[in-house]
Chain A
Amino acid sequence: TQLLEQSPQFLSIQEGENLTVYCNSSSVFSSLQWYRQEPGEGPVLLVTVVTGGEVKKLKRLTFQFGDARKDSSLHITAAQTGDTGLYLCAGAYAGNNRKLIWGLGTSLAVNP
């Protein structure tokens, strides 16, 4: 059973477009992490959100943690080809960030 649902599974857009990807669960997490994974590489941590309702910005990327800490979204403004990759979310329960619950990811392709 996949406890973290990510949508959409695949997304192909043109450079300059905006997009939002979602990470949803019925479980409450103490924190949620977003990673980007490029082909042939391991995931790289982008951000950790901890507080319900929290919004964090990383240049053109905006991350939001739901008020109930069950869901999160990632919004990319004016996508660039360098944003191409697999975006993964992972939820952590209090006291243990190793047994993360991972989503299957959203595979994003930004075309020139």
Chain B
Amino acid sequence: KAGVTQTPRYLIKTRGQQVTLSCSPISGHRSVSWYQQTPGQGLQFLFEYFSETQRNKGNFPGRFSGRQFSNSRSEMNVSTLELGDSALYLCASSLELGTDTQYFGPGTRLTVL
């Protein structure tokens, strides 16, 4: 089976712009979670989608949003980018919601200038 894929792998944006990141889960997996990883804060949970509905949400501002499509693919959007949004954004998929093992993608490296 193919693993979790994320596109693009690298992205450079300037402050104030918006960005959309994409994640394709492992075939058959219905849950997709998003994380932000920075050297100072480590991994922080953004949100989880299951059956096209957001089921869990971390403590991030409303500038961070996401959605999931009927084929389980997910997108994450960040509006009005700030310098502090520079990070590795990781997507993880799992078969079911909540307690199942997560499989991470390689991430999208976002740099905000």
Q: Tell me if chain B binds chain A.
A: yes
Interface residues of A (CB under 8 A from B): 2, 40-45, 48, 88, 90, 95-100, 102-105
Set B41, B56, B101, B105: member contacting A45, Cβ < 8 A: B101
19 contacts between A and B (CB under 8 A): A40-B106, A41-B107, A42-B92, A42-B106, A43-B90, A43-B104, A45-B101, A88-B43, A95-B98, A96-B56, A96-B98, A96-B99, A97-B100, A98-B33, A98-B48, A99-B58, A100-B45, A102-B42, A104-B42
* A42 close to B56 (CB less than 8 A): no
With A42-B4, A42-B90, A45-B101 known as contacts, the answer to whether A98 contacts B45 (CB < 8 A) is: yes
* B98 close to A98 (CB less than 8 A): yes
Q: How far is the CB of A20 from chain B (nearest CB, A)?
A: 20
Set B44, B99, B104: member contacting A102, Cβ < 8 A: B44
Set B33, B43, B104: member contacting A44, Cβ < 8 A: B104
Report which residue of A96, A97, A98, A104 has the largest number of chain B beta carbons within 10 angstroms of its beta carbon. A98
- The answer for the CA separation of A100 and B44 in the assembled complex, in Å, is 8
**Contact mask B14-44 → A, CB, 8 Å, 1/0?**
0000000000000000000100000111111
CB-CB under 8 A from A48, the residues of chain B are 101
The answer to whether B86 has its CB under 8 Å from any CB of chain A is: no
Q: How far is the CB of B5 from chain A (nearest CB, A)?
A: 11
Report which residue of A41, A43, A100 has the largest number of chain B beta carbons within 10 angstroms of its beta carbon. A43
* A97 close to B4 (CB less than 8 A): no
Q: How far is the CB of B50 from chain A (nearest CB, A)?
A: 10
Q: How far is the CB of A103 from chain B (nearest CB, A)?
A: 6
CB-CB under 8 A from A44, the residues of chain B are 104
